[in-house]
Chain A
Amino acid sequence: MDRSNALKTLAAVIGLLALVAVPIIADAAGSTAWISMATRILIYGMAAASLNFALGYGGLVSFGHAAFFGLGGYVVGILYQTYADETLLFGFIPGTNQLLVTLPATILVTGIAAAAIGALSLRTGGVQFIMITLAFAQMLFFFFSGLSAYGGEDGLIIRRTNELFGLNMRDRATLYWVTLAITALFFVIYRRLTMSSFGTIVSGLRQNERRMAALGIEAYRYRLIAFILSGIGTGIAGAMLANVMRFTSPDLLAWHTSGQLMIMVILGGVGTVTGPFLGAAVLLILEDVLNAWTENWPLILGLVLLVVVLQARGGLMAIVNLVRGNRS
């Protein structure tokens, strides 16, 4: 037991070191594009992991998480534009370009949005829940598409990445490391959450709501809190994506973004801690590789997904665990 724990810790340390070394290796290999790719993988990983808490642990199949992803982006974008124009948002909120302000603002905004959307959607279940979350996300999509003051359909350009402690955020490697630090913190909290007392209740409700009711659990309020936490996590990822791309647009709010996050979760392994990160990495890299190869890449991607889902019902994590199990 101690030995396997020591091995796990060792694997985690090696993994973290490898992640820290990505920009150095990419520089040495002369492929700086790897740095952007790695940054995006971390960000989409956070978004997918957040969705996984609702979907995989809570059994809440949300098809509207793009709403929180996009909202996070617009919080950064709108606050930046307000800052650049030296105006006040709604007449009283000053703009900002400080990451230490925009991230808490994202948490606040996406938390409130998730509370509102969740409070209404969670009155339904099953397919209706999927459709209602989708409808809310589409409403936000059309809202921001029509919001011409902030770019409308064209999206909103953010001229400079948010500042943090006077670091040179224009440097891709620095931005990667900042993203990595945020992702690491996110991962620790997320992993804890899944194993916590609250996480146990949420996952119990997925498995058997009737049993949990017989033990004294009112499903609604626990699911609502889970949905809010999940929305906030996705929102933080969206805020980071806007910072990295220096751009945000209604596309982030569209249904195919929700689908993309869902595919990452399913590909990586529903209800696993690291699966969504793995799923994000595989999907983004595959998209990139196949896109360079043929313009019919979605067809091939679809086939790959089909094989993974049919062959390993637990996603890529099931394959990883299988390999691990065989070794020990």
Chain B
Amino acid sequence: MSAPVLKVEGLVKRFGGLTATDHVDFDLADGEIHALIGPNGAGKSTLINQICGEMRQDEGRILLDGLDISGHSAPQRAKMGLARAFQVPSLLNDVTVLDNVTVAVQIRHHRTYRISDSPRGRRDLFAEAEGFLAGTGLAHRGDIVVSDLSHGERKQLELVVARATKPRLLLLDEPMAGLGASESQEMIETLSTLREAHGILLVEHDMDAVFNLADRISVLVYGRIIAHGTVDEIRADPEVQRAYLGEEDA
């Protein structure tokens, strides 16, 4: 396996007396889908927020391509290739689907300070953004204002926008949350095609999706990683069964 894209070392985050992240270590290789599972309140979102820079850790380091990014702000990390899809879609709601993708494209091209380029002068950006929409369920929905989209479409758009930044690493926070059965199936297919191009850290509740997609799985319970390994190893692990999978069966 190649050198890790993302490496998390000894990460700790405390909220008062509660240790939300308790000495977490894991890594993620290029082209790998690493799933992070765990019951509600296990600290998955806290961990994601620290990796993307919205929240600062109390201890430990985060390395992207071997570079320590622990002190970087969220925008700096985004520029270095960390793209995020939010659990609850967080988009530009007043503008169209295409505009949302175009913003991601223009930021990647550093076209953010031009104060007098006309829409005609931005045509190349729109064309590139269309390219990211092509082949997705949103291909013919480019002109729709985001506030008119369904939840499932917004989840898809989150992913397209993240891809349009051409990231090194995708942080996907529950991409299946709130999706119908067929929408979930589509999302699984989309994600399996994406692993070629990016490393993916997948936080997900949908066990079918996780077992389908993940190369490796880490199980987070009470802020601590209690197990990690391949899909088969995790399925067989008795501690995981008890702490997490068992609860779901009950």
Contacts and interface: CB of A to CB of B under 8 A. Distances in A.
Contacts of A157: none
Interface residues of A, number: 26
B103 A204 contact: yes
Contacts of A193: 115-116
Contact of B75 (A199, A200, A217): A217
A212 B107 CA distance: 9
A222 B113 CA distance: 8
A208 B73 CA distance: 17
B91 interface: yes
5 contacts: A192-B116, A198-B113, A208-B93, A211-B92, A215-B104
Interface of A: 189, 192-193, 195-201, 203-204, 207-208, 210-218, 222, 225, 229
Interface in B33-65: 52, 54
Given A215-B78, A215-B103, A218-B75, A229 B115 contact: yes
A205 to B, nearest CB: 10
A197 B92 contact: no
Nearest to A198: B115
Given A198-B113, A199-B115, A214-B90, 20 more contacts: A192-B116, A195-B119, A196-B114, A196-B115, A196-B116, A197-B111, A198-B114, A200-B103, A207-B92, A210-B86, A211-B90, A213-B73, A213-B74, A214-B78, A215-B104, A215-B107, A216-B107, A217-B75, A217-B112, A218-B75
B148 to A, nearest CB: 15
Contacts of A218: 73, 75
Nearest to A191: B118
B124 to A, nearest CB: 11
Q: Could you say which of B76, B103, B111 has the most chain A C-beta atoms within 10 Å of its C-beta?
A: B103
B90 A208 contact: yes
Chain A contact residues: helix, strand, loop or mixed = helix
A149 B103 CA distance: 51
B84 interface: yes
B102 to A, nearest CB: 8
Given A193-B116, A199-B115, A216 B92 contact: no
A222 B106 CA distance: 15
A195 B160 CA distance: 23
Contacts of A199: 115
Contact of B117 (A197, A204, A225): A197
Contacts of B107: 201, 215-217
A32 to B, nearest CB: 37
Contacts of B118: 192, 195-196
Nearest to A271: B94
A215 B90 CA distance: 12
A208 B119 contact: no
B78 A197 contact: no
A37 B122 CA distance: 39
Nearest to B91: A211
Nearest to A206: B94
Nearest to B82: A214
A98 to B, nearest CB: 27
B140 interface: no
A198 B84 CA distance: 23
B156 interface: no
A2 B94 CA distance: 26
